[in-house]
Chain A
Amino acid sequence: MTNIVVLVKQVPDTYSERKLSESDHTLDRESADAVIDEINERSVEEALKIKEAGEGEVTVLCVGPDRATDAIRKALSMGADKAIHVSDESLHGSDMLATAKVLAAAIGKVEGVDLVIAGNEASDGRGGAVPAMLAELLGLPQLTHVRQLTVEGGSVKADRETEEGITHLEANLPAIVSVTEKINEPRYPSFKGIMAAKKKPVETLTVADLGVDSGEVGLGNAWSTVLEASPKPPRTAGERVEDDGDGGTKVAEYLVAQKLI
C-alpha cells in the first residue's frame, strides 16, 4: 500500500493571454482561464500508475484560491481518491518559501505518507524549487527531474534527466519526487470518473488550520518584491541580409555582433 500525495497547482492556461495585475504585480487571475498545470496531470498520472500496479491511495494537495477546486476536480476525475485544498486570503502573493511551508504543513496532515509527487517546474511561476524546498523542510530525500519512476517495497528508483545526462537514483521511502514532461502521457478523465469525483472527499483548510503563522505568508512577507513589470516588446521585423556572394560572412558578422557566436 503506497500512500501518495500529489502536489497540484492551478495555473493560467498557456493558450490564453497571461497578465500581471497593475496594482500589486501578482498574477491577474481574472484575465486568463485557469487550468490544472499539465505537468501536474502527469504527476497525477504517475501516482495513479503506482496505485494501479499495486495498492495505494492518492491524495491531491493544492494551495490556491477558491476556483482551484476546478483543478482539484480534474485530478479526482482522473482517479485520485481524495483532496486537500488550502485556500486562504492571506496567501495571496505568497513566494516560493511561503508556498513550500504551507505545502509542508499540509502534507503533515496526511498520515503515513510514502511518496510526494510534484511537477518539476510550474508553467507560470517557473521557480522549479518548491520540491527541493519541501524536501528540506520535511527532511526527506529529493529525486528531481525524473523521467522514469519505480516503487519497489520500501524504496523508489528514478532516472533523473538533465542537460548533463541521466543519473540513476535510489532512495528510501518516504521521499519527494518531481517529474518532467517525459514521465508519461496523462489519461483523459472519463465521464464515470467525472461523475465519481463529486462524491470524493475534499478537505478545505486555512493557514490557521495548518498551524502556520499568517505573518509568514502573503505578498507582504515575501522575501523578494516585484518593483516593476512590463510586457515583452512585440517582435520587430528583423534584419534582411541581401546575398551578393558574401551572405555567409554577413550572417556570421551579425551573429558575432549579437554575441551569439
Chain B
Amino acid sequence: MDPRDFLGIDASLSAEERDIRDAVREYARAELQPHVADWYETATLPARELAKGFGRLGVLGMHLEGYGCAGTSAVAYGIACRELEAVDSGLRSFVSVQGSLAMYAIHTWGSEEQRERWLPRMAAGEALGCFGLTEPDAGSDPASMRTRARRDGSDWVLDGTKMWITNGTVADVAVVWAQTDEGVRGFVVPTDTPGFAANEVKRKLSLRASLTAELVLDGVRLPADAVFPEVRGLRGPLSCLNEARFGILFGTVGAARACYEAALEYVLSREQFGHPLAAYQLTQRKLADLVVEVNRAGLLALHLGRLKDEGSLHHSQVSFGKLANVRAALDVARTARSLLGANGISLEYPVMRHMANLETVLTYEGTEEMHALSLGQAVTGIPAFRVG
C-alpha cells in the first residue's frame, strides 16, 4: 500500500499517462519546487522563462491537436495539472490560462489564419496569452459585461475594462470578449495595439505566484479579421471555461495531496507529550479524513477524465467535479494546516500557501455557488440564478 496513492489510482493510468506524470514531476522537482515559495513571497513570477520551460516540456495546449501541440488524452492533461498544482495553484493557473482558455479559444473558435498565427508560438511558450471575460462589475454574471466592440468601416473598435485577468501584464495576445450588435463575440487582440493597457493587481493574499491584471481597452482599433468568425453569445467563453474547470478538478487533487503529505510527514516526526503527534487518536482521525478526501477527489477526477476522453462528459458533471474537488482540497488544506501547528502558518511549509491559493480556486472559473446552482438546475430542471 502506497500512502501517496492509497487506492492505487495511478495503476490504471496508461504507460503514456504515467510517463507524462513522471516528466512533470521531474521537471517540477528540479525547476519549480525550489523557487515557488520565493515567487509566492515576493509576488513575482519569471513568466517568460517559465513559458519557455513549459513550452519545451510540451504542457502548453498539450491536449489540443496540431499547431505544435502534443495532442494528449484529457486524462494526461489532467494528470499534468495535478502534478503542477501539487507545487502551486498559481503554476497550474499559468498553464490553464495559456492552454485551456487562450489557446483553446483560438483553436476552437478562431479562423485558420488566427490559429496559424498564434498557436505554434503559444505551444512553444514563445508567445503568452490571456483571457479577458470578467469585468469590475460583471463576474458571475458575464452577460452583464460592458465592454463593447463597435464597427467602424470594416474595423472593430473596443472600449471597456477587464478585471482579474491572469497573465494580463505579460501577454502578447489577449482573447477579449465584448458586446456587439450580434451579442457577445470574441476578439484576438495583440497587446501592442494602441489603446491597450494592462495594470498589475497588487496586494493579493492568494495566488501570489501568479500575475493578475486589469486590462484597459481605450479605443482599441482592430482589423475585421480579429474577431472569431462564427461563435456568438456566451457559448464561446463558457466552452473555454469548461475546459479550464476540467484542469481545476484534477489540479486541486494535487494541492490536496501535497497538503496531506506535508501533514503526514510532520506528525510522524514532531513529538509532544513524549510521543509523535501521529500516535494520538485525534491526529489519526484527521489523517484518515485527509486520506479519504484526497483519494475520493482523485477517483472523481479520473472518472470525469475518462468520460471526457470518451466524449460523453456533460458540463454539469464538470461543475460537480469543480465544486466537489475544490471543496475537498480546501478542507484538506485547513485540516493539514492545523496539524502543523505554528509551522502551519509559515511559508517554510507548503500548506498555508496552498490553503490561501485555494480561496482563489474556489472563486474563479465559476464560484462554488455558481456550480451549486448548476447542479441544482441539473437535478431539478429549475434555474435559480436570477431573482424573479
Contact = CB atoms under 8 A, between A and B. Distances in A.
B19 A188 contact: no
B58 A192 contact: yes
Contacts of B364: none
B56 interface: yes
A189 B20 CA distance: 9
A74 interface: yes
A74 B58 contact: no
Interface string B115-153: 000000000000000000000000000000000000000
Contact of A198 (B16, B56, B76, B80): B16
A190 B16 contact: no
B59 A191 contact: yes
Contacts of A74: 19
B372 interface: no
B15 interface: yes
B27 interface: yes
Contact of B72 (A70, A187, A195): A195
A188 B27 contact: yes
A93 B83 CA distance: 37
Given A188-B57, A191-B58, A191-B72, A77 B27 contact: no
A86 to B, nearest CB: 20
Contacts of A133: none
B209 to A, nearest CB: 21
B26 interface: yes
B241 to A, nearest CB: 24
B236 interface: no
A197 interface: yes
A28 B71 CA distance: 38
A29 B88 CA distance: 33
A219 to B, nearest CB: 29
A73 B26 contact: no
Interface in A185-203: 187-195, 197-198
Interface string B50-82: 000000111100100000001110001000100
Interface in B1-44: 15-16, 19-20, 23, 26-27
Given A73-B15, A77-B19, A188 B56 contact: yes
Interface of A: 70, 73-74, 77, 187-195, 197-198
11 contacts: A77-B19, A188-B57, A190-B56, A190-B58, A191-B20, A191-B23, A191-B72, A193-B58, A194-B16, A195-B16, A195-B70
